[in-house]
Structure 1
Amino acid sequence: MGRIVVIGAGLGAMAAAARLAVAGHAVTVYERSATYGGAVGRFERDGFAFDTGPGLLHLPAVYRDLFVKTGRKPLEECVGLRQVDPAARHVFADGTRVDLPNASRAGTVAALDAALGAGAGARWGDFLTRAREAWDRTRRPLLEEPQPADPRALAVEPYPALKAGLLRRPTRTLAQLGARELGDGRLVALLGSYAEAYGFPAASAPASAAVLPYMEQTFGSWYVAGGMRALADAVYERCRERRVEFVFGEPVDEVLTGAGRAVGVRLASGATVEADHVVAGAPVPALLREQVVPWERSDEWPRFQTHGTGRLTVLLALRGAREEDAAHRTVVHGGDHAPVTVLRPDDPALRPDAEHESVVLSAAVETLPGQDWPGLADALVEAAGRAVPGLAGRLLWREVRTPEDVREATGAAEVPGPALADARGEWLPAPNRSPVPGLYFAGGWSHPGGGLAHAGMSGALVAGLIVEGAEFRGSR
């Protein structure tokens, strides 16, 4: 079988590596940092531990499939996986609070009626019915099949927006959809928060982003015991079991080509490594910026999704026990910033003892030069005070992680989002097949896009393209 070089050890890249190794390929992963996981990082201090990347998992079936296809032990024997209930507590600008149950449409409708008034739940339920149509139309081409060479087939708005009157303008953005169909400003804010969680501003995200709340509320939100870093640990160990070789602290400077295809890589040390296929798991923008990929003209670069937003994360070490009715995830709406997500996992592995608590705050922010990161961090902490009782008096210390810190760790300051269909085709990430034969893209910056589940799907698609070649039609 072939020799495979994988650039980067993120979740999507490792998912591809494990599948390729099971298929009989000799796989070596070169990672520029000292560890694996990519954006799924961890910070520890004084007995506190924090996830610095995603805090919850959606569509766990993606990783269940990975572990079934690559070994004897299923996912649940490798990590402790549990549903989060309520899935989220939302605190709106007017002080209204609502707890949304995990993967229960009827429960969600009832909770919204109780908190926002009769009829609110029905409007949300009707919206989810239309969102399901968009999901059914796009699930296969956007999640389970390789992106076609001509993506114009996906440049169709799949959401069946309500229309009224012959002169009524079409609903193009998620914000327009919310204002037209949901009415209540709190429901509009609820809708927008699902897109903002991926860094998509509701004012510019296409109406097809309606699939994001549908996906979460249908398939649920899950937490991995010990923090999401434990999932990266499990995938890394599965790769090692399949005899994938990892070389850490070894950047790849260049993808080498010959006879019109990728034939290997040149390492920062100057050594060259031959390969039959190269899988680039690093962020596509970084690969292009650092000229790792063999394209000199910008018009030859593969298309990749970019929306100008990153993530500001604030890690809080608190004294005092977590109250019994605390929600694992609270989304705080209002203010001059995007919704603030407050994660408070009830996990002994993340705190020194029961009389302390680790809390992670995050919000989408613009990656503009000169941002007042300390001021923005203060704003996040102030907002989180509406979710964590007595926060100011409990704070021992905080650690701020800016988009520039993310760039240092992963190569890109922005956070990639999942692929979305729209009439302009502007929300699609880079295809898994690069313009150079033998070179593939895997991970959050490539099809089907960002998020833990999507990155895992990306790895599965790349493995299928390499193993089955032109016969590959998608994951099954």
Structure 2
Amino acid sequence: MIGAGMGAMTAAARLAVAGHRVVVHERARTYGGALGRVERDGFGFDTGPSLLHLPAVYRDLFVKTGKQPLEDCVELSQVEPAVRHVFADGTAADLPNVSRAGVGESLDSALGAGSGARWAAFMNRAREAWDRARRPLLEEPLWPNWQVLADREPYPAVAQKRLLRRERRAATLAEVAEFELGGEPRLTALLEHFALVRGLDPRTAPASAAVLPYLEQTFGTWSARGGMRALATAVYERCRARRVEFAFGSDVVRIVAKDGRATGVELADGTLVDADFVVAGVAPGALDAMLSGTAARTHGDVPPQSGLPSRLTVLLALRGARPEGTAHRTVLHTTDRADELDRVFGTPGARGSTGAARPAPDGSPGLPAAPTLTVLRPDDPTSTPDAEHEAVTLTAVVPAGAEVTDADVRRLIARAAAVVPGLDDRLLWQEVRTPAHVAEATGAEGGAVPAPALAAAAGQHLHPANSTAVAGLYAVGGWAHPGGGLPHAGMSGTLTAGLIVEGPEFRGSQ
């Protein structure tokens, strides 16, 4: 096993239970991949995903690999409200967790009567898309004839009154907002946010991206005491309990292949390690480098996604208690949608479906002037030295490879002050995690973050299969099917383990 990310550890635990001896080689000094944590002066911050959606993925892992259920190993809590949205005009809406009716009431109250009904009608169609796409996209290995998924749009057509009630099929998420939500700017921002935070351009993301808000609002938003790093620790400890071996600081530089089959790996110190199977939980560029010219993918297979953005994260240690009633997560929407999308994703049509991201005046990848900002203020005593302090995390989607300046960071903090009163006076210290830090931690070029797999759009949003053209070599994690995101990583590990244990006839759990 190459890498100790969540997908790889999920696969490792399942393979160990099936009777395999599993050795994980991780070049870093710890496990968890993107689920890192910074601890300083009694403060604790997640540096990757900090909320969990679709916890059933990890509940299933713990049921299948031991007697202790997930909740005995990680203290999970539903976040309430699930999120507070602050729109460009200053309007705020608190959306409750796992309550379709409550979301509708909140939207009616904040945005005007009828807003909730429009959103509910959209969610009904999103449910249809979820029912059609869930199994082939998430619960089964990628079909050999994956072009069927590329051509099939699971989101249903929408009746348009202005077209004499003819049905018209939305091609993109932005068109879904236009057709279903009437182009209302705040509802549009709400919908498009689900794509943006996952590194997807709503102007080009297929309509099937509607499954993203459906997934979150149907299955809930969960936090963990100790942050999502606690989930990584629980999965690591489950692996250890199943006698998975970990070698940290063990850098794999080459995958050894003989007669077209992977037979082991070579470490940086020249050590050769034999293996019946090799599972790689690394970014596409790192995998290609390890193969020394051997093609991992068959001709015509799904290519790795490219042009994906990165994340800028600012960790803030504050004096003063977290106020009562503070939302765990607040989304502060951009005041300039066009600038944000052009700077992060480029101008559609300039080169294929998406052009190069608009640069800053000095020619470097430019950050949006007023990016959509996710502000996390967890009610978790493990995140602060005492009740008289608060830990706040700011996250914005930025171009991969972006050079982050002190002015950029100050601008993010100034924006956050709109939803964290007294921020400047309360600030003790800050730490910044740039795309360069993401690249160093994950090996992804420019610090790009993988997006979840989506159907339609000619397969541009699918990910390469877990099996490869090299027999005995498998790919796992966010850069392989079914793509990025914490639940998807667990699904990737489940599918990879199934392919190894049951062979190519494996079709997923029934």
TM-score (ref. length: structure 1): 0.95
**1:242-285 CA distance string (max 9 Å, x none):** 00000010111111111221111111111111111110011223
- For 1:436, the equivalent position in structure 2 comes to 470
* CA-CA distance at 1:298 after TM superposition: 10
* Structure-2 change in CA distance of 1:53 and 1:107 (3 Å): same
- Describe the SS at the equivalent of 2:31: coil
Verify: 1:245 aligned to 2:245, yes or no.
yes
- For 1:294, the equivalent position in structure 2 comes to 294
* CA-CA distance at 1:334 after TM superposition: 1.8
* CA-CA distance at 1:388 after TM superposition: 1.1
- For 1:404, the equivalent position in structure 2 comes to 436
Verify: 1:445 aligned to 2:479, yes or no.
yes
- Describe the SS at the equivalent of 1:262: strand
* Structure-2 change in CA distance of 1:296 and 1:199 (3 Å): closer
**1:33-56 CA distance string (max 9 Å, x none):** 100000000011111110000010
Partners of 2:288 and 2:296 within 8 A in 1: no
Partners of 1:200 and 1:307 within 8 A in 2: no
* CA-CA distance at 1:131 after TM superposition: 0.6
Equivalent AA in structure 2 for residue 50 of structure 1: F
User: Among 136, 145, 155, which residue is 1:159 paired with?
Assistant: 155
1: CA distance between counterparts of 2:496 and 2:21?
Answer: 15
Verify: 1:342 aligned to 2:338, yes or no.
no
- For 1:232, the equivalent position in structure 2 comes to 232
**1:293-332 CA distance string (max 9 Å, x none):** 7339996886222343011101001111100010000000
Equivalent AA in structure 2 for residue 389 of structure 1: P
Verify: 1:116 aligned to 2:111, yes or no.
yes
2: CA distance between counterparts of 1:395 and 1:196?
Answer: 28
- For 1:466, the equivalent position in structure 2 comes to 500
Identity, in percent, stands at 61
* Structure-2 change in CA distance of 1:232 and 1:292 (3 Å): farther
1: CA distance between counterparts of 2:375 and 2:427?
Answer: 15
- For 2:461, the equivalent position in structure 1 comes to 427
1: CA distance between counterparts of 2:197 and 2:488?
Answer: 14
Partners of 2:308 and 2:450 within 8 A in 1: no
- For 2:399, the equivalent position in structure 1 comes to 366
Counterparts of 1:281-320 in structure 2, within 5 Å, are 281-289=281-289, 291=291, 294-295=294-295, 303-320=303-320
* CA-CA distance at 1:160 after TM superposition: 1.3
**1:193-229 CA distance string (max 9 Å, x none):** 1111111121221111110000000000001111110
- For 2:73, the equivalent position in structure 1 comes to 78
Verify: 1:66 aligned to 2:61, yes or no.
yes
2: CA distance between counterparts of 1:376 and 1:285?
Answer: 29
- For 1:54, the equivalent position in structure 2 comes to 49
Pairwise CA RMSD of aligned residues? 1.8
- For 2:179, the equivalent position in structure 1 comes to 180
1: CA distance between counterparts of 2:298 and 2:487?
Answer: 30
2: CA distance between counterparts of 1:98 and 1:161?
Answer: 29
User: Among 18, 22, 25, which residue is 1:27 paired with?
Assistant: 22
* CA-CA distance at 1:417 after TM superposition: 1.2
1: CA distance between counterparts of 2:407 and 2:132?
Answer: 43
Counterparts of 1:91-170 in structure 2, within 5 Å, are 91-155=86-150, 156-164=152-160, 165=163, 170=169
- For 1:3, the equivalent position in structure 2 comes to none
2: CA distance between counterparts of 1:74 and 1:297?
Answer: 37
Tell me which moved more, 92-101 or 302-311: 302-311
Verify: 1:382 aligned to 2:443, yes or no.
no
Partners of 1:302 and 1:434 within 8 A in 2: no
* CA-CA distance at 1:435 after TM superposition: 1.4
- Describe the SS at the equivalent of 1:315: strand
1: CA distance between counterparts of 2:289 and 2:30?
Answer: 23
Equivalent AA in structure 2 for residue 250 of structure 1: S
- Describe the SS at the equivalent of 1:341: strand
Partners of 1:79 and 1:234 within 8 A in 2: yes
* Structure-2 change in CA distance of 1:169 and 1:375 (3 Å): farther
* Structure-2 change in CA distance of 1:296 and 1:243 (3 Å): closer
Equivalent AA in structure 2 for residue 342 of structure 1: V
Partners of 1:47 and 1:351 within 8 A in 2: yes
Partners of 2:332 and 2:374 within 8 A in 1: yes
TM-score (ref. length: structure 2): 0.89
Verify: 1:220 aligned to 2:220, yes or no.
yes
2: CA distance between counterparts of 1:253 and 1:458?
Answer: 23
The gaps in structure 1 that reach 5 residues or longer are 1-5
2: CA distance between counterparts of 1:318 and 1:168?
Answer: 53
**1:157-200 CA distance string (max 9 Å, x none):** 11114243289974222122212221210000000111111111
* CA-CA distance at 1:384 after TM superposition: 1.4
2: CA distance between counterparts of 1:144 and 1:269?
Answer: 38
**1:319-371 CA distance string (max 9 Å, x none):** 111000100000000244442111111111010111111111101111145x3
Tell me which moved more, 300-309 or 319-328: 300-309
Equivalent AA in structure 2 for residue 434 of structure 1: T
The gaps in structure 2 that reach 5 residues or longer are 336-368
Partners of 1:306 and 1:416 within 8 A in 2: no
